[in-house]
Amino acid sequence: MRATCWNPYRLGLGTAVTSVIFLAAILVTVVHLTRSRSDVIEADGPARTPRAANPARERIMLGYYAFVATWPSLRLPRPKEPLPEAGTRTAP
């Protein structure tokens, strides 16, 4: 059974139609920027060469990113008992 909640600020399009609309908007934007090249910055001077990478700094940043990626999963609470079925009430 699908829950229907009428809201005057919703269009009632659903997730599939909304996804198609956003996909079309992204596609139109990419095609426009590809054809017009309005987002390209032309270099006036000589090309700059990138700086040499510092391996020690890269290792530190890699460790930081690994920590940031795994920390939330370690902080999530573990359920002590199974969650109740949908639609059932539990005692307070």
Confidence of residue 51 (pLDDT cuts 50, 70, 90): confident
CA gap 77, 9 in Å, rounded: 35
Which pTM was predicted?
0.40
Q: What is the pLDDT of residues 14-50, one digit of tens each?
A: 889 999 999 999 999 999 999 998 888 877 777 777 6
Distances (CA, A) of 61 to 43, 54, 74: 30, 11, 20
Would you say residue 1 has pLDDT above 70? Answer: no
Confidence of residue 2 (pLDDT cuts 50, 70, 90): low
Which residues are within 8 A (CB) of 90 and not within 5 positions of it... i.e. 6 or more apart?
Answer: 84
Query: Given phi > 0 = left and psi -120 to 50 = alpha, else beta, which region is 87?
Result: left
